[in-house]
Amino acid sequence: MLDEIGCRFTRVAALPLDESSQMVVTHDRDGAAEAADYLLSLGHRDIALGTGPSAYRSAHERTAGFIDALSQRGIELPKDRIIEAGYTFESGVAAAEKLLLGKRRPTAIFTGNDEMAAGIYKVALRAGINIPRIPATPGVPLRRC
């Protein structure tokens, strides 16, 4: 429809759906695996995961990529270290309250997006946790088709 009325657009999606010149494809699984590798390279082993909504393909792909990468390196992510949340600031706050305000804090948290990461940072600051010690790494690479 946008083509028909002469409106220029770019679509962002996990799968190529349109003309490649109008498409940016996310590589959610690969990006999450890269984040896991990065956290492991820093020496983190007690890692938590704040996922997006399970009904979202991006959340499923990021979760699978992250968990698979850890598993390939002999690290199993305990269920209590996986918090399903929304892709919102508020859900990041809720996830962080579960993960950071308990007795056993993770040394790193991977989140589904920037909004969730911001919520985690807010709770960390409020709790007096040194931010560089909790590197939330929400970015997932975008690539042109």
* Strand ranges, E, within the chain: 11-13, 23-26, 47-51, 82-84, 108-111, 142-144
Q: Which amino acid is at 52?
A: G
Band of the pLDDT at 144, cuts 50, 70, 90? very low
Band of the pLDDT at 145, cuts 50, 70, 90? very low
Q: pLDDT per residue over 88-108, tens digit each?
A: 999 999 999 999 998 899 999
The residue that leads in pLDDT, 50 or 4, is 50
Task: Report helix angle 114-126 to 89-100, nearest 10.
Answer: 50
Residues 6+ apart with CB under 8 A from 139: 31, 35, 114
Q: pLDDT per residue over 63-72, tens digit each?
A: 999 999 999 9
Q: pTM for the whole thing? A: 0.79
Q: What is the pLDDT of residue 5?
A: 84
Q: Comparing C-alpha atoms, which of 88, 85, 98, 86 is closest to residue 127? A: 98
